Amino acid sequence: MLDRLVVPPLVVAIGPSNVGKSTLLNRLAGRPVAVTADEPGTTRDHVGSLVDLDGLIVRYVDTPGLQARRDGA
């Protein structure tokens, strides 16, 4: 339990493009951390911030959207 006080838990947002991962980070952080736009592919690299989730500080990381594989898998 003590390690959570020293090293915040890591939360990583992973998902398709343009579903609101960056918007969620900005809302949780209470400030603009990630660039948002209506176009898929706006986030090109991971962006993170420490956020307070009802008293639990976590390191929240936003990632670029996942792309469907060309082979359909």
Domain containing 42 — which CATH number? 3.40.50.300
Q: What is the pLDDT along the chain (73 residues), one digit of tens a residue?
A: 555 567 899 999 999 888 888 899 999 999 999 888 888 777 778 889 999 988 889 999 998 888 766 766 5
Cβ-in-10-Å burial (0-12, 13-18, 19+) of 60 comes to: buried
In a domain, 30, yes or no: yes
In a domain, 44, yes or no: yes
In a domain, 68, yes or no: no
Q: What is the C-alpha to C-alpha distance for residues 8 and 14, in angstroms, rounded to an integer?
A: 19
Number of structural domains the chain divides into: 1
Q: Which domain holds residue 37?
A: 2-62
Q: What is the C-alpha to C-alpha distance for residues 65 and 73, in angstroms, rounded to an integer?
A: 16
| C-alpha distance from residue 72 to each of 19, 40, 68 (Å) | 20, 20, 7
In a domain, 67, yes or no: no
In a domain, 37, yes or no: yes
What does the pLDDT read at residue 30?
94
In a domain, 70, yes or no: no
- If you search the block for the tokens 């998902």, which residue do you land on? 15
Q: What is the C-alpha to C-alpha distance for residues 40 and 63, in angstroms, rounded to an integer?
A: 12
In a domain, 39, yes or no: yes
DSSP for residue 2: H
In a domain, 18, yes or no: yes
